[in-house]
Amino acid sequence: MDDEQFWQTIDVTLQRSTQDTDEQAEALRDVLAGLPDAEVLDFHRRLVAANHELYTWTHNAAVQLVEGSLGDDGFTDFRTFVVATGRQSFERFRDDPDTLVDILAHRGIELAEPFGAVADQMYLARTGRLVSDDGADPLEPWEPPAGDRAILDDATQLRQLLPRLSARHG
């Protein structure tokens, strides 16, 4: 599975569900059921890679402005949610965390733990192995987010980096 196929899979799940991530997780389960094990593993790897692209203190700060501190698990589930919203909103948020305002206007925030677990669970059920047994990284990174954590405590810098979110939720 290449990047195009990964994002097409996400698009199919969006088309087959409402804006509910639990329903989208079921749609993903249906789509992945028709793929070979290697592609299910590749889907998981690409989901993890996309999720990790959003693992920065600035992205964390954007979420905290709206939801407060989510903790490590909640931040992982939030990043998975952004991936599940599709390539366009993912890339916009990756490049400019202030565009979380647009995601909120269109969809609101959900945590997408079930969506993030589908490929891992399916792979285990089919092969008896965890995706990590076959070299895939976990959704939750082991190291701290990229960037400077001090941004969380600097209201002036937050307003400059996230003006739309700060005006709406700050």
- Domain residue ranges in the chain: 3-169
CB 47 within 8 A of CB 119: yes
User: pLDDT tens for residues 18-36?
Assistant: 878 889 999 999 999 999 9
Phi, psi of 2 (to 5 degrees): -95, 180
User: Under a CB-based contact definition with an 8 Å cutoff, are residues 141 and 55 in contact?
Assistant: yes
Q: Which residues of 29-45 are buried (b: 16+ CB within 10 A; e: fewer)?
A: bebbeebeeebbbbbbb
pLDDT tens per residue across span 102-144: 988 877 677 788 999 999 999 999 999 989 888 888 878 878 8
Instruction: Kindly report the pTM of this predicted structure.
Output: 0.92
